[in-house]
Amino acid sequence: MSRLLRRRAIELSDSGHALAKRMAALGYRVTQPRLAVLDAATALSASFTAAELEHWLVTQQRSPGTASIFRTLKLLVEAGMLERIHGVDECHRYTLSAGHGHRVVCLECGALANFEQCALDGLVASLEQATGYRISQHLLEFFGRCPACQRGGVAA
């Protein structure tokens, strides 16, 4: 591929992607499928499943196929650019990584709000004392209805 073409290929999907630069900085090759998945993750904005992401890419006629999507999702999670999140009954959802923090997830539309504060330190300490466990990780997520869905008025 000529220098010119390569440059065009990258610009094609480079709409706003500091993300792509970050991938390159981490030593990952910046390829079309990876850019497509990052675009999709950005466009979907809230949380999404692999299937939802694939559907979006198909409608955009940019889907690299299921296998590549799964491989890319796994890679991006390892790279820290996406996070896997858990629902009450649903697992295997993803969201663009937003620094460290936890989330409030809308049960109706999947919208997310992030927050930094994690007032668990005290609880962790007292639990370690009470149980004898050495606690190294935690999972904390909140669920409810986002402001828009509350206005929307559909009964929960």
- Residue 45 partner contact from its own copies, DNA, none using kind-dependent CB cut-offs of 5 to 8 Å: none
Residues 6 or more apart in contact with residue 114 via CB below 8 angstroms: 98, 99, 101, 102, 103
Q: Which of 15, 45, 66, 150 binds its own copies (CB under 8 A)?
A: 150
Tell me the DSSP string of 62-75: ----HHHHHHHHHH
- Could you tell me the two tokens for 21? 């630069």
The interface mask with its own copies, positions 25-64, x = CB under 8 A, is: ----------------------------------------
Tokens at residue 84, please?
Answer: 């896997």
What would the two tokens of residue 35 be? 């850019």
Q: With binding defined as CB under 7 A, does residue 71 bind DNA?
A: yes
- Residues in contact with 19: Cβ distance below 8 Å, sequence separation at least 6, in sequence order: 38, 42, 81
- Is residue 1 a contact residue for its own copies (CB under 8 A)? no
Residue 70 in the binding site for its own copies (CB under 8 A): no
Q: Tell me if 102 contacts DNA by CB under 7 A.
A: no
Q: Which residues bind its own copies (CB under 8 A)?
A: 84, 86, 88-89, 91-92, 104, 106-107, 113, 115, 117, 119, 122-124, 126-128, 130-147, 150, 156
